[in-house]
Amino acid sequence: MKCLSTSKRSKIVKWLFAIHFICLAICVVLLFSLKRSEHLRWGLGYMIVWITILSSLVLFFLINKHFKHWLLLKIYCAVFFVASAGLGVFLQGQGLDTLLPPEKCCSDGDYLIRSRIEDMPTNEYNIVLLKNEGVIEKLIATYHYPTADSIKVFEDKGAIVIYCSEESFYTDSLGCIEPLYNHPANENDIRALAKDLKVDINNKFFHF
């Protein structure tokens, strides 16, 4: 850092502050615009979070006494880094995907299943069904299973078939039909599909 001239250091600091605050603004927008379990695709949201946090650390070491209000700027960077990194690590440890994306279990076309901890005090694991829409993984439904090995989505019938090689279902089979939220299901179609695929119907959530 000492080899940088004052003018070069000043330009770098200005650009880094611009990037830092732009990313911080995007984080705030995403926080209030996306539902829980929804994400930006390709890990873009997590990249923005990491850039926001790490840029404050880099700025802390770049700022010196040659900058106006240098002490206030260093205090801001130090407090922001410690608070944001500490909070992120704490929430990640509690099961909230603040710094790292939840595990992707399987996918079918634009649909994918990710794991999710529903209730932090009890650590109840569920899976969520997401659909790729533009740059967003949009939340479609939540199912009360620990995991899923593969899925098959029948959008025209308003149903999804979830398969698992382990005894993770609350049924007698390793496959079960669940509804797609906001997609009305037809009783005859669902029962015929269950018979053809030799899977169970989760009657707890289907209301014909």
> Residue 208: its pLDDT value, please?
47
pLDDT per residue, tens digit, the chain (208 aa), is 556 667 788 888 899 999 999 999 999 999 899 888 889 999 999 999 999 999 999 999 988 888 888 889 999 999 999 999 999 999 888 777 889 888 899 999 999 999 886 655 555 668 899 999 999 999 998 888 888 889 999 988 888 898 887 655 555 667 888 888 766 677 788 888 888 888 888 755 555 4
Question: Which residues are 106's β-sheet partners?
Answer: 113
Q: Which residue has the tokens 């109840």?
A: 124
Domain ranges of the chain: 6-93, 104-201
Record the tokens describing residue 128, joined without a space.
């969520």
Whole-angstrom distance, CA of residue 34 vs CA of residue 40: 9
CA angle 76, 77, 81 (to 5 degrees): 115
Angle between helix 70-93 and helix 44-62 axes, rounded to 10 deg = 140
41 DSSP 8-state letter: G
* Closest by Cα among 169, 174, 180 to 198: 174
Taking the C-alpha atoms of residue 88 and residue 145, their distance in angstroms, rounded to an integer, is 26
